[in-house]
Amino acid sequence: MNQNDFVLLINPFKDKLFRLAKRLLVSTEEAEDATQEILVKLWSKNENLETYNSVEAVAMTMTKNYCLDQLKSKRASNLKIVHTNLANNEPSLHKQVEDHDSLKWVEKIINQLPEQQRIIIQLRDIEQCEFSEIAKIVEMNETAVRVALSRARKTIREYMLKAHNYGV
């Protein structure tokens, strides 16, 4: 497989990888780096690429694992900074409500969910994957995915109702 074939192969889903990475890492730059890393890794696997039945699913799983690793190592190396970040989230969150920038605000809410739920929301509500695909990517069974999805959606609803009551 040469470079052109590879680019054609990854084109349909590279944005998807990036959005998943951004969902988990939040920062655009970090998500870009992560996506780049994953695609280069994929490219170096070149010869085995044909043996996978879905390169996209493999890439999604790789992205998920890579980002989770990234988060874990960040947390291990500077626990303190993460905590101050959490503390800082609250006021800016209220500011978002005041600004009525509701789309940004939805993003904030989603990014506060646990990682697993964030991945599932991303895959289901934004990328519109089937439950079977999601189950494969997050390595859970479909029922567990449904339960986590429902929980995540309900958490979002709770926050939104609160925001609604504050905001209007």
Partner 1 sequence: MEILLEKYFEGQTSIAEENELKNYFSSLNVAPHLEQYRPLFGYFVEAKDENFDKKLPLISKKQKMAWLSIAASIVVLVGIASYTYFNMNKPNENAALGTYDDPKEALEATQKALAMLSNNVNTGIEGIQYIKMYEETKDKVFVE
Binding site for partner 1 (CB under 8 A): 3, 6-7, 14-15, 17-19, 22, 32, 35-36, 39-40, 43-44, 46, 102-103, 105-107, 110, 124-128, 130, 146-147, 149-150, 153-154, 156-157, 160-161, 163-164
Angle in degrees, 0-180, between the axes of helices 102-112 and 142-167, rounded to the nearest 10: 140
- Toward partner 1, which CB reaches closer, 82 or 160? 160
Comparison of 141 and 150: residue with beta carbon closer to partner 1: 150
Residue 116 half-sphere exposure toward CB, CA atoms < 13 A: 12
List the one residue out of 14, 163, 27 whose CA is nearest residue 103.
163
Return the number of the residue (76 or 168) whose C-beta is nearest partner 1: 168
Q: Min. distance of Cβ 9 from partner 1 in angstroms?
A: 12
Q: What is the smallest separation between the CB atom of 86 and partner 1, expressed in angstroms?
A: 22
User: Could you please report the per-residue DSSP string of 11-76?
Assistant: HHHHHHHHHHHHHHH--HHHHHHHHHHHHHHHHHTGGGGGGSS-HHHHHHHHHHHHHHHHHHHHHH
Which residue reads 């929980």 in tokens?
A: 151
* 44 vs 51 by CB, closer to partner 1: 44
CB of 133 to partner 1, least distance (A): 11
